[in-house]
């Protein structure tokens, strides 16, 4: 089964509810999508799905020899900070229902790309707290446009520049300098003429 439609990111939660995410973060389970091998007691098994994060650790950036010799590490560099996933807990959103609530140690730790949250759990929490109901998944998955879609749909002729801005999702009435994406679409559209 495809459970991906139940999971949303922190950014989507901020758009879905009227509260601050920080107010409810500790009341929600952190999920991660994982596909791979885990230890189930003393056996290795393959799992695929969405799991609750049981244990993770910071993945500390290791400077190269050249960076250390050039004193790059002393200038407070912008190094990537990620988390390594160590173990997960089985959930109803995976291919192994018999592993629900069981802690599973990963055979090989992996970086956590994105933290996910269950929309179903969010709705239950909002209901329990007697808060307004969160926006639906379909409403959250609608594409955001920087221009008025209804107005664009009424128009029948566009300049080449307007068409490039629409393709790049740039506000037609705004006056920012042309972006690389707009220039890319402008070249693509010009090549077809």
pLDDT at residue 67, as a whole number: 74
Name all contacts of 99-107 with Cβ < 8 Å and 24+ positions apart: 99/40, 99/45, 99/47, 102/40, 103/54, 104/38, 104/39, 104/40, 104/47, 104/51, 104/54, 105/38, 105/39, 106/34, 106/36, 106/37, 106/38, 106/39, 107/36, 107/37, 107/38, 107/39, 107/44
- The C-alpha angle with vertex 137 and arms to 132 and 138, in degrees rounded to 5, equals 115
Do 99 and 187 fall into the same domain?
no
One domain, residues 49 and 131? yes
Domain shared by 86 and 106, yes or no: yes
Same domain, 159 and 82: no
Q: Do 67 and 111 share a structural domain?
A: yes
- Report pLDDT for 76: 62
Residues 134 and 156 both lie in one domain = no
* Per-residue model confidence as pLDDT tens digits over 66-86: 877 777 656 666 666 678 999
Q: Are residues 159 and 132 both part of a single domain?
A: no
Q: Given this model, what pLDDT does residue 166 score?
A: 77
| Window from 45-49, 97-101, 103-107, 134-138 with minimum mean pLDDT | 134-138
User: Residue range 121-140: average pLDDT?
Assistant: 90
**Residue range 18-72, pLDDT digits in tens:** 889 999 999 999 999 999 999 998 899 999 999 999 999 887 767 778 877 777 6
What pLDDT shows up at residue 137?
83
| Domain extent for 157 | 149-191
Q: Rounded mean pLDDT of the chain?
A: 83
Domain check: are 104 and 163 in the same one? no
Domain boundary pick from 123, 140, 157: 140
| Domain boundary residue, one of 117, 140, 163 | 140
* Residues 105 and 185 grouped into a single domain: no
Q: What pLDDT shows up at residue 38?
A: 95
Together in a domain, 87 and 179:
no
For the chain, what is the domain count? Answer: 2
């Amino acid at each position: 089964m495809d459970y991906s439609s139940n999971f949303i990111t922190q950014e989507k939660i901020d758009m879905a509810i009227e509260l601050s995410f920080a107010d409810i973060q500790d009341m929600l389970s952190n999920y991660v999508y994982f596909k791979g091998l885990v230890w189930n007691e003393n056996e290795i098994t393959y799992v695929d799905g969405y799991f609750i994060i049981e244990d993770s650790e910071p993945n500390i950036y290791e400077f190269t020899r050249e960076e250390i010799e050039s004193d790059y590490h002393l200038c407070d560099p912008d190094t990537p900070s990620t988390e390594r996933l160590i173990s997960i807990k089985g959930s109803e959103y995976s291919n192994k229902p018999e592993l629900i609530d069981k802690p599973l140690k990963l055979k090989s730790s992996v970086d956590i790309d994105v933290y996910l949250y269950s929309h179903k759990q969010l709705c239950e929490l909002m209901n329990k707290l007697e808060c307004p109901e969160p926006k639906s998944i379909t409403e959250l998955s609608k594409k955001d446009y920087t221009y008025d879609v209804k107005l664009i749909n009424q128009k029948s002729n566009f300049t080449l520049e307007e068409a490039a801005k629409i393709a790049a999702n740039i506000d037609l009435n705004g006056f920012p300098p042309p972006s690389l994406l707009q220039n890319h679409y402008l070249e693509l559209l010009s090549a077809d003429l």
